[in-house]
Amino acid sequence: MSARETASAAWGVGMPEWVNALAEACDRTSQNRVAHQLGRSASLVSTVLRNSYAGNMARVEELVRGALMHETTTCPSLGEIERQVCSMWRDRAKKPNAVNSQYVTMRRACHRCPVFQGEQE
């Protein structure tokens, strides 16, 4: 059974477009390669396709839209970036880290960004 067929069976007619993009990417390559591209595990990809993922589905959607669908967002510091890059910096901005100047700059930028602020509410 293809990833697209698995997703269609699990999600039904209301399958979101980003899940379809995830399934098509898996059919083109493999779940492992797609998971690596997303920076997540193959089991996460599998459970999302089967509509049984218990974690933050909105976060997975954001990763898929950025990495596979090439959707972008505007960062106050970096300008136009893919959504999964925004997600990565938001995760890093939650913890203080003075490792280098870019981390400090991005932490400050994230804390001023409405996307980050909306996530914190």
**pLDDT digits over 75-90, tens only?**
988 999 998 889 888 8
Model pTM above 0.75:
yes
Q: Is the pLDDT of residue 119 over 80?
A: no
Alpha helical stretches, state H, 29-113: 31-38, 42-49, 57-67, 83-93, 101-112
**pLDDT digits over 29-83, tens only?**
999 999 999 999 999 999 999 999 999 999 899 899 999 999 998 898 899 999 8
